Structure 1
Amino acid sequence: MIGTFLRYGAGSLVAMACSEIVLVGAYNLGADSQWATILAWAAGALPNYVLNRRWAWRSDTRTGGEKLRELTLYWLITLITAGFAILATTATDDWIMNTVTSRGAQSVLLAAAYLLAYGVVFVTKFVLFDRLVFADRRTRHQVPSTTRA
């Protein structure tokens, strides 16, 4: 489980880097905080899914039903956290527009709010992914235990 958590953390860092670059870029190019956050989420969500599925949990679901269940739960959790990030960045944007004049400083503060929002849900997402999304991976690969008589 520690190895899975470390791989999840590394994959999350890759996804977060993709997201932060897109967030700051889109915001500096004039996108409002909501659109910048949505674009940032999209930029990080796909690599995050691939890294989590293939690398962190080493999932190899093959059947249509298992794959659909995995995809549905994963994207549901991810969309809920995206909503949280949109709320956090919108609230931050409302505050900084009235107090900070430099667009560069505004984008740094917005990026910090986005990072904080995802930092808050980081462990929760791990638990949900481990227990719900990729849970069947463990049972498929478990070796039956033998007991001594």
Structure 2
Amino acid sequence: MPQRMSGVRFGRYWHLLSRFAAASVIATVISQLVFLVSYSLGSAPIFATVLAWLAGAIPNFVLNRRTWGGGGRSALRGEIIRFGVISIGTALVAALAAHGAEILATSQFPHNRPAQIAIVWGAFAGTYVAMFAVKFVLFDKIVFTAHRQQQRAR
């Protein structure tokens, strides 16, 4: 029986991980395009990060709530707050990374805007890649818990 349970648990996590990855790809493409365009047009890295976060956070929440089978209307407020804290925290880390990368890029390549854009965008994108597994665990264990709690109550 324990082997069956571990197989079921593994299957559940594989399903969640694959859907989380798909949602992350969609949200990432949206936010990366917004960041790249706004930074390329002259926005400060922090402003470009905020715009990119806004563009990607809404589809990310909706798709991931569907992935985990959110807890209905009663759980929505808590899920939004917990998701928001994690999402804003990630955006702050990305903004700091992009800002630091801009300082480095402008000092190393003062007259090469394409190189500056590539370095700053790399720092921004790298933050989200690095946070992928962390966010998966946090979403599963902290954000979207109501559905799992309802199953335990049965």
For structure 1, which runs of at least 5 residues remain unmatched after alignment? 145-149
Which residue does 2:126 correspond to in 1?
116
Describe the SS at the equivalent of 1:131: helix
More helix by share: 2
Stretch deviating more after TM superposition (106-115 or 80-89): 106-115
Change (3 A) 1:76 1:143: closer
Would the aligned equivalents of 1:85 and 1:117 in 2 still touch at CA under 8 Å? yes
Describe the SS at the equivalent of 2:73: coil
Which residue does 1:88 correspond to in 2?
97
Runs of 4+ in 1 over 6 A off after TM superposition: none
Q: CA deviation at 1:118?
A: 1.0
Say yes or no: does 1:129 pair with 2:142.
Answer: no
Q: CA deviation at 1:111?
A: 1.6
Which residue does 1:78 correspond to in 2?
87
Taking the aligned partners of 1:19 and 1:31, their CA distance within structure 2 comes to 15
Would the aligned equivalents of 1:24 and 1:108 in 2 still touch at CA under 8 Å? no
Taking the aligned partners of 1:67 and 1:96, their CA distance within structure 2 comes to 42
One-letter amino acid of the counterpart of residue 94, structure 1 = I
One-letter amino acid of the counterpart of residue 85, structure 1 = A
CA offset digits 1:57-82 (Å, max 9, x no partner): 1224122xx22111111101111111
Which residue does 1:19 correspond to in 2?
31
% identical aligned pairs: 34
One-letter amino acid of the counterpart of residue 95, structure 2 = I
Taking the aligned partners of 2:56 and 2:112, their CA distance within structure 1 comes to 26
Q: TM-score, normalised by structure 2?
A: 0.85
Taking the aligned partners of 1:50 and 1:135, their CA distance within structure 2 comes to 15
CA offset digits 1:72-116 (Å, max 9, x no partner): 111011111111001100000110011123222222222211111
One-letter amino acid of the counterpart of residue 68, structure 2 = W
For structure 2, which runs of at least 5 residues remain unmatched after alignment? 1-12
Tell me the matched-pair count: 141
CA offset digits 1:15-38 (Å, max 9, x no partner): 111111011100111101111111
Say yes or no: does 1:99 pair with 2:99.
Answer: no
Which residue does 1:57 correspond to in 2?
68
RMSD: 1.5
